[in-house]
Chains A and B, each alone.
Chain A
Amino acid sequence: MKLLTGNDLKTGFVTWWTGADWSLHIEDAADVGEQGEAILAAEEGARRVNAPYIIAGEITAEGPRPAHIKDRIRALGPTVRPDLTLKPADPAAGDWVI
């Protein structure tokens, strides 16, 4: 699958394209298939997101998972500060990254 991601213009937070809007949670991410470039161009024009790009991912039991570790860290948060990730109460969240 292909995922579209970027950083929110105002906050800089990592965002994922859901098919209709942007979400902070990768669980909401949609497979953009071959439409990625067109969505990217439109959303960049809308100026709500910075530096959008398309990445490879896979569907897992927990939902979409980026293929590369860098994007998995982006999706969760810093592995060395579990308290600052999107899943501070989940001790296994780091396993999803690594």
Chain B
Amino acid sequence: MYKYDEYDHQMVAARVAEFSDQVRRRLAGEITEDQFKPLRLMNGLYLQLHAYMLRVAVPYGTLDSRQMRMLAHIARKYDRDYGHFTTRQNIQYNWIKLEDAPAILADLASVEMHAIQTSGNCIRNISSDQWAGAAADEITDPRPWAELLRQWSSFHPEFSYLPRKFKIAVIAAEEDRAAMRLHDIGIQIVEQDGVHGAAFYVGGGMGRTPMIAPLIKDFVPLDDMLSYAEACLRVYNRYGRRDNIYKARIKILIHELGAEEYRRQVEEEFVHVKSLGIDPPKAEFDRIAAQFAPPPLDASAPDAIDRGDPDFAVWVDQNVAKHKVSGHAIVNISLKPVGGIPGDASSAQIDLMADLAEKYSHDELRVTHAQNIVLPHVRKADLHAIWQALDEAGLATPNLGLISDIIACPGLDYCSLANARSIPVAQKIATRFADPARQRDLGELKLKISGCINACGHHHAGHIGILGVDRKGTENYQLSLGGSGAEDVSLGTITGPGFDEDGVVDAIERVTDKYLATRTEGERFVDTFRRVGMAPFKEAIYG
């Protein structure tokens, strides 16, 4: 894992001191809210429905047990004993007091964390594959490149006031576990003739105008990656629209320019940027990469798993993934208990996951964009002990990738932008499909719910997506089918008129019934939808 150097420490400490003084001045009435708002947002402090909300960055979703325990400590000391893991691999606290914010940021800095650039029109937290460094299908660990981008984008003077927020994801496997092509820039580390390079997909995103990022460059030498990213941003910063917030994202610019013309301008800019020498010398990259060296895993560790306990066996089948090293596995901890709040974890649960990481996973955890937690490096021989501990804490729900593993934004229960509640809908769906055997029979089914058009719940990318809207002061839910955030990326299609809260749950059951009646052997829901189209599902829903 990356450890801060003296520059990182100085930068974060300076920001804590600066923001502490800004908070003091605000509380003393020396500055107005209009003056203070952009300052607090630059430090991840929002004002939501019930209180201030603090969004803490978890770079590329990676953290260690010490950091995880600090997240629990903050929940316990400053919030209401829980945190909410988000769809951008961060964590949010819903009940923060302004006067506590400086102390919280100081606590975070003590474990090399912060909340910088988790808001505002800047480059946000770099996201990545939650199985990075462990996945059997990756060609390399993408996190050194994500860390390089983190350092480059932190306090980047040219990109602190972009036309709109900017999100970057980096992966290094064919299977896309990070919704890479739904980011402003999606980078996939690829291999050509035995050499690694970066494929740049630019101009994806969700929100009110969802778009899949087109391929802008299929192979950028890794020595040029930062310069190429800088060129992509410069063209956007120069021509992205600042006159209309709804047309300000890079996806709109590329859509209007056309990918070819955008590429031409980026290539032209790249020639200039490359001459500036911003790509790091090899020694500096090697210094970063060395901190992501694989943990010492014993490839001769036993590969067999005692599946004598049937509940344990189900959990292994559903929540445990293949590790690149024999005798080891990737544990996916579901934060989606039936009837629970997707992504929420109590301080005790966060502490427990930290303990398990320290004891069994070489001190590493990951936050996933699907709002779950990962223990990336676990000996198969330890799986049963981990499962028992998780089960006692209500964290062993065997539903990874199933219909109850729902992505849901905080919605109108917490968010000031939301038009409808997301969480109660997620709870009702998970309860309706609570039977584990029924869920497994349905197979992989990605259900995603957003409480407004901003799409924090990734509804466009759901095999089944739900968008909450406000219809004359009443919550209403639009259903869409056929989206995917994975390597088979696609955007969902709206089925038709919306439903009330109970109606949308009924509609989903009619959709899944139709799927069961229509699927062929081994066909996932989204595959069936793509084969037969919307019509039979629409008929099942509306008659």
Which residues in A have some Cβ–Cβ distance to B below 8 Å?
7, 9-14, 44, 47, 50-51, 67-70, 73-74, 77-81, 84
Q: How far is the CB of B344 from chain A (nearest CB, A)?
A: 9
A70 touches B424 (CB 8 A): no
A14 touches B49 (CB 8 A): yes
Residues on A with C-beta less than 8 A from B50 are 12-14, 74, 77-78
B99 touches A73 (CB 8 A): no
B49 touches A70 (CB 8 A): yes
B97 touches A50 (CB 8 A): no
Residues on A with C-beta less than 8 A from B27 are 9-10
CB under 8 Å from chain A, chain B span 419-448: 421, 423-424, 427
B412 touches A10 (CB 8 A): no
Which residues in B have some Cβ–Cβ distance to A below 8 Å?
26-27, 29, 32-33, 47-52, 80, 94-99, 341, 412-414, 418, 421, 423-424, 427, 473-475
Contacts A14-B50, A80-B341; A9 near B412 (Cβ below 8 A): no
Report how far A80 CA is from B501 CA in the complex, Å: 14
Q: How far is the CB of B392 from chain A (nearest CB, A)?
A: 22
Residues on B with C-beta less than 8 A from A70 are 49, 412, 418
Report how far A10 CA is from B426 CA in the complex, Å: 33
| From A12, A69, A70, A74, residue with most partner B Cβ within 10 Å | A12
Report how far A13 CA is from B98 CA in the complex, Å: 10
Residues on A with C-beta less than 8 A from B418 are 70
A12 touches B413 (CB 8 A): no
B97 touches A79 (CB 8 A): no
Nearest residue (CB) in B for A78 is B413
Report how far A73 CA is from B470 CA in the complex, Å: 14
Partner pick for B427 among A13, A51, A80, CB 8 A cutoff: A80
B47 touches A50 (CB 8 A): yes
Partner pick for A69 among B52, B412, B427, CB 8 A cutoff: B412
A47 touches B32 (CB 8 A): yes
A12 touches B341 (CB 8 A): no
Nearest residue (CB) in A for B52 is A12
Partner pick for B49 among A9, A44, A74, CB 8 A cutoff: A74
Partner pick for A9 among B98, B414, B421, CB 8 A cutoff: B98
Known: A9-B98, A10-B99. 10 other contacts (CB 8 A): A10-B27, A10-B97, A11-B52, A12-B52, A13-B50, A14-B49, A70-B49, A79-B421, A80-B341, A80-B421
A80 touches B424 (CB 8 A): yes
Q: How far is the CB of A48 from chain B (nearest CB, A)?
A: 9
Closest 10 A-B residue pairs measured CB to CB? Answer: A12-B51, A12-B52, A78-B413, A80-B423, A47-B29, A11-B97, A74-B49, A80-B413, A50-B33, A10-B99
Residues on B with C-beta less than 8 A from A79 are 413, 421, 424
Report how far A75 CA is from B505 CA in the complex, Å: 27
Selected A-B contacts with CB under 8 Å, 13 pairs: A9-B33, A12-B52, A12-B97, A50-B33, A51-B33, A69-B475, A73-B412, A78-B50, A78-B413, A78-B414, A79-B424, A80-B423, A81-B341
Report how far A81 CA is from B286 CA in the complex, Å: 47
Q: How far is the CB of B486 from chain A (nearest CB, A)?
A: 29
Residues on B with C-beta less than 8 A from A51 are 33, 47
Report how far A14 CA is from B95 CA in the complex, Å: 11
Residues on A with C-beta less than 8 A from B427 are 80
Q: How far is the CB of B137 from chain A (nearest CB, A)?
A: 37
A11 touches B98 (CB 8 A): yes
Report how far A84 CA is from B81 CA in the complex, Å: 11
Nearest residue (CB) in B for A80 is B423
B412 touches A12 (CB 8 A): no
Residues on A with C-beta less than 8 A from B341 are 80-81
Report how far A10 CA is from B414 CA in the complex, Å: 18
Report how far A74 CA is from B385 CA in the complex, Å: 43
A67 touches B98 (CB 8 A): no
Residues on B with C-beta less than 8 A from A47 are 29, 32-33
Nearest residue (CB) in B for A86 is B50
Nearest residue (CB) in B for A94 is B424
Q: How far is the CB of B106 from chain A (nearest CB, A)?
A: 18
